[in-house]
Amino acid sequence: MWYLDVLEKGIERHLSGYHGGDGDVEEALGEQMDAFGIVAEEIKQIILGQGIGFDPEAWDEDEREELACEIRKRTKPIVIAANKMDTPRHRRTGRRSPARPSTTTSTSSP
């Protein structure tokens, strides 16, 4: 999972003191995950919501994965486009039409 890899890198940078001190983990993760459009305050809110505390050394593998998943959900929500769902048949069943066979034929010149 790509988000988990980026999260792990941010945790490593935080724990190694890359930025010269014992800064807040949410600041380090916010900087590391900036490309996803998330800031430190949002990271802090997600951590609080997960109830895992602010010590990344205490987070187990599952907690880190859940944190990465929650960050992904907040920054890149999944959108499902349901084309033609406004037609009566599809509204009623909520199902796709079966694939139609191709009506094109191939002709070859002698």
- The reported pLDDT for the residue numbered 91 is 63
Q: How far apart are CA 108 and CA 59, in angstroms?
A: 66
7 pLDDT higher than 70: yes
pLDDT band at 48 (very low <50, low <70, confident <90, very high): very high
What is this structure's pTM? Answer: 0.65
25 pLDDT higher than 50: yes
Calculate the average pLDDT of the chain. 81
| Side chain identity, residue 67 | L
- Give the tokens for residue 104: 């094109």
- The reported pLDDT for the residue numbered 99 is 54
> Whats the size of the chain, residue-wise?
110
